[in-house]
Structure 1
Amino acid sequence: MERLELSKRKNVSNVTKCIARLLVAIIFIVSSLGGLQGNANKAQGKVTYEKETMFYGDGFTVKYTIDSQWDNQYTANVVLTNTGDKTIENWELSYDSYDEYSNIWNAKVSYRSARIYNIKNAGYNQNIAPNQSVSFGFQASFNKTIDIPKSYKLLGETAELDDSEYEVTYTTQSQWNNGCIMNITLYNNSDEDIENWALKFDFNCTIDNIWGAKIESHEGNTYYTKNCGYNSTIAPDSSVTIGMQASFENGGAPGSIENIVVTQSKKGKCYVEFDKEWNRTMVRADSPIVVEASKKNAYTINIGLIDSGVDYSSNINIVDRENFVEEYTETNPLFNDLSGHGTAVAGLMASDSSVETDNFQFDDKNLNKLMIEKIHGVNP
């Protein structure tokens, strides 16, 4: 009996020890899971970003705020403030970001490359008066970290339209002893939108009232009028009409509208704020691993190009060449590219933008700017 009792006690003790070990194991597993979760949180914590950044430009500021983030998605809000003393007209903002926008509100994407975004107003918020702001938001996805823009550029300028791009007509709707009602119609003859238009003209009557436009200034017989916002854009083959009530001396007649000038505020046709180094963007030439490899292998890689030829350029180091199309004789030692394609490709591959050259001066200042801002080849 004593042996049996002792055996029972040992069995109970063993069971107790097993339960204790099981509890310890469970606690260990739970703790491990908690540790793993903590490590996961730490790993997720590597996706860091500044929730709010400020950029101070010439006459404007940009506040960039990340509102929310989940997985590899986020939403952000951008506030553009006019800190200058003149109205920012028909605003368009350019900046760098590799992130992919899936939705945008209070603005639109007017240009997109792998690296550059141009964001343009939505029409109803195109002008920003001094000390006033506009904002837009978007939803985007990112790769490893959110690519927050480091700097911004305001695009566009006020430019006078060529006479061939528009037509202005005016008619008298009604007339009395010392006054009349007149309509002025501005028609778009071009194949592009006329944006944020303004109309300057000479008129030897006094404009007492105007609709469809507003008078910005008036000096002598010269009137400077501008769109009302809702009618700021004139599509190709479309028009806007300005109505006005004018007065003149008793017994007189309304004079003609003369010296008409039409201007608009928009990005120029020869705009050059695009991704000029898209060749380097596409191969991620500025990423640390590529930069390190390129330094290691500097001056060890030669390139052979079979194309339409390469025109002379001190920015491209041509060490030798061979003509395989003998029927095309080279009549000029400096220019021997049959189509320009070979020169372009050679530049994308091996142009050294640090080399100074004399540039031909164009009448268009944007083209001159493009010539100055030379591209940098992938393997200069």
Structure 2
Amino acid sequence: MKKNVIIIGAGHAGIQSAASLREEGFEGSICIFSEDADFPYQKPPLSKGYLDGSQQKNSIMFRSEAWYENNQVELKLGELVDKVDVSQNTVYATSGVYTFDFLVFATGAYNRELPIPIKGTDQPLYLRTMKDADYLKVALDQENVQDILVIGGGFIGLEIAAYAAKSGKKVTVVEYQPRLMQRVLPPMLSEHFAAKHKAYGVDLRMGVGVQALNQDSRWTASLSTGETVAADQVVVGIGVLPSQNLAEQAGIKCSNGIEVNEFCETSVTGVFAIGDCALHPNPFAGGGMVRLESVQNAVDQAKVIASTICGKPTSYHQVPWFWTHQYNLKLQMAGLSEGYDQLIVRGDVEGDKFSVFYFKNNQLIAVDSINKPADHLQARKWIQASYTPDVQKLSDDSIKLNEC
């Protein structure tokens, strides 16, 4: 009798799971549940190309409708899963009760909300779905909207700030940490991005919290400094939290995410978790448990669970990589730089074409590249192979990178 797989979530992790299962020869039924009623789409472009109009709706879809039909992948869109009973291998959804042989949590993450008093008829804007992006674009593009307040100096907040600033809006960014993107970047790169935002007229308020939001005819934000900022629209991007409630309620072990082993299997046999919701052992974090919010992680973990379900278990061992695009700065990140004790800068910093190489205990652990895609690809190969280049050669720009 053929086995069946239920996947909860239709983001990168969920759709890649279905694709990889078929590529691995899985012949059983595959059903994907998604709370989002829109046809499955990529989320990273929502704050980049989709927001600025360079990418249209059809260009950010994962697959065509024909692909799902041809590969016998059933989509249940706009369908909420209320409960999972792992003792009975059962999923309770809006349309009924479904049984599974294998279950995949690809539930992603949800926006962290402002824990402050908010008064007014409207709410600040958040970005997570295509509907959010459509609404955000209309809201920001209105002629009577000139002053934009962005709360949060991470990837999403800054990508939205860059779009608004390039559109001629007056933008203020308020960030609680003393630096932009502090969680993932060293001071040098934080300062490089800060300088670019300032060049476009963005008012950066660093090390500052928002204590209250009030809306009358306009928004007024009360800051921890005692100052206020007035705005026509407020956008919030202060990070995300793993969507783990379903798993937690099912008795599956969770902490900062749904805990999994090196095969992305949870504390319950035959139940997997992948992507933004999964807390996993990562060899590029010294084997420590981490939760990564990236396309790479979602896609590669999906391939791991497909192999395991098809009887060919393969442990997860892929270099993490990420990217952000702000103005003319395309930052590509390979590896995890936390805990570095040495860095080397290579390239033209003033010309916005350079890379930063991070070392820990004389081992290359990460590389951040701005407008240097070849450096990024080389870095991924080196880190995957645990290769460390010659530091003296690396410090000499006249020596080609692949000769270091």
Shorter-chain TM-score category?
under 0.3
TM-score for both structures, normalised by structure 2: 0.23
TM-score for both structures, normalised by structure 1: 0.24
- The one of the two structures with greater contact order (alpha-carbon pairs below 8 A, sep at least 6) is 2
The structure whose Rg is larger is 1
* Greater share of helix: 2
